[in-house]
Structure 1
Amino acid sequence: MSDSTMPSRSPRSLRLTARNRLTLLYVALVLAAGVALTALTYLLMRESLAHREVVLWTARPDGTGSLPPQPPSPSALSQRVRDETLAALLTQAGIALAVVTVLAGVLGWLLAGRVLRPIRAISATAQRLSAENLSDRVPVHPPQDELAALAETVNGMLDRVQHGIAERDRALDSQKLFAANAAHELRTPLTTIRTAIDVTLDGEPTRAELLTMAEDVRAAAEASGRTLDGLLVLARSQAGTANPRPVDLAEVARAVLADVGDQLSATGLTLHQDLSAAHVTGEPVLLERMTANLVGNALRYNYPGGHVTVSTGTSAGTAALRVLNSGLGVPPGQVDRLLEPFVRGEGSRTSSDGGAGLGLSIVQAVVLAHDGVITSTANRGGGLDVTVRLPPS
């Protein structure tokens, strides 16, 4: 018969389970200890019998004893007694060792099952888990041994996996919403351009109508350009800092406020500034855009005669930039939504001031790229109070 026709067993089917291996280990240890103990007893007994003399007596009817008429030699008699004693010892020890080995196998099997019970619980929990069900956890029972620590480690890993999947789902939902909003923001100017062209070219337009159409097309194109610029800055901010350098937030704020001086005068806003040194390590362009967006947001969502306060400094081991402005009241539940892309003041997705709705989203992306924290609260009298905290350099 050829080798190809021989039945084969996969290596997996020949493997012993952990419980079997532990049982065999217990039995091997008991058997080795029993053999060693028997051998030691045998050697000690043989050494003890080697130094003893045997005297043979015969009993008479009257109860007295005497040596047999032809007694065997003392050495032969001693050897015979020693051999019979050691043989009996080995027989009894072998029987006892066999019984102990069987008991060790049974107890080892039960003990191995008890020891491996937490492992089976971990395996059962892992089999119940799925992408839709990550809530099950491995039960942890006393005592607090290595297996309990393993169960707690597995539970901690499951917590992190569940949290990571939840964060991934939120990120995917946010990306879907962002893509939908971006498409809407870009489609609106294109629709405006197409409508203006269709209406104007329907018939014989005059020069004035053509100029009006051109102004509408330019305004729509500029709106699309602002949206695209905002998206590019947002993507760059989310990519992190590529060329970090020492930056003083106070100097950045002074430069930004100098650029908006004419706008402050035109709107009649009152500016309060308290610019103390606040040194950080970051990308100057992104930090300048962050500050400009905060100040621009404070100016845009304000009212004539209102106020804007800009301050920088260090506190609680961080470099801080704070922009506070007056304005319309913001519902408390709406404050966090203002950090989302394409969400403007009062939750509107449309605005006549030319804003793209990406200002605070870019600010938050820049802050996160610099390992900072942004907090935004609604003022009682209206407006926002936004504070950015970055690690100091």
Structure 2
Amino acid sequence: MINWIIGPILLLLLYLLIRQLTKPLKQLSKTTKTIAEGKYTERVQLRSKDEFGELALNFNRMANAVEQHVIELSNMADEKQRMVDNLAHELRTPLTSMQGFAEFLTSANIGQEEQQMAGQYILSETLRLKNLAFKLLDLSVLRHHPLTLKQVDISDLFKSVKQIEQLKLDEAGIKLEMDYSIPAVWGDHDLLASFLVNLVENSIHASPQGSTIRMLAYVLHDEAILEVCDSGFGMTPEQSVRVFEPFYRGEKSRTREYGGAGLGLSLCKQIADAHQARVSLNSTLGQGTSIRIFLQLHNICSLTL
């Protein structure tokens, strides 16, 4: 009778003991399966101070390291994709211009002077494109390392931007006015030219025929300002808030018409960040848009507004 009574009790106690001992292993197995499915934030919730607790602690440390590496790899992939998107976006404008001048060179009724002018433009655009490609490839690095600033001549900068955009300005029937009261700023010539080219192109797409786009350089509160302003369609407050986001297109129908992907202003923001500069945007629907970048003023720039 004692054996018949004690036996089932011992079996029950043994079952409960084995269940208690294997519970951490089951929890660890469940968490491992969850992490293997891609949910890297999952952790083992075990606070015991025995060998199982130490195993859970080490497992959570390993899961933290895996999650951190996954985040870093994801960020690297995003940066590479952003670099490819920026490069593809920036290749479009010079390649289109080079194609136009190449077709101009193949025309039969052009003189030697015009041939030299077209050839010089293709050469200058090729060099600029090469330099810009390397700069765009380095944009991800520039986020972690400061950009080497050099003296950028405003006159040369504005002339190069106007030369790049002249064909599009003529086709759109829009005039580009340039006005500057400072001779130079601190920055990178190729990246600042890309910054202004993107702003001018956006203004061309947003402006009616016969209007004027202004490209300015001046001093404001001991800072050098580069500004592009137009009197075009303008933006709503909601669009102004999101306009620097990658792939955001405020007016999708107009952007599709001109083949835009919503990367121009996103790239401008990255260029400004590389210069450790601020960007401001003022826009009123139906009245136009003005975008400024606040740069360091070169020490030879003693002129004021």
Q: TM-score, normalised by structure 1?
A: 0.39
The higher radius of gyration belongs to 1
Higher relative contact order (CA 8 A, sep 6+): 2
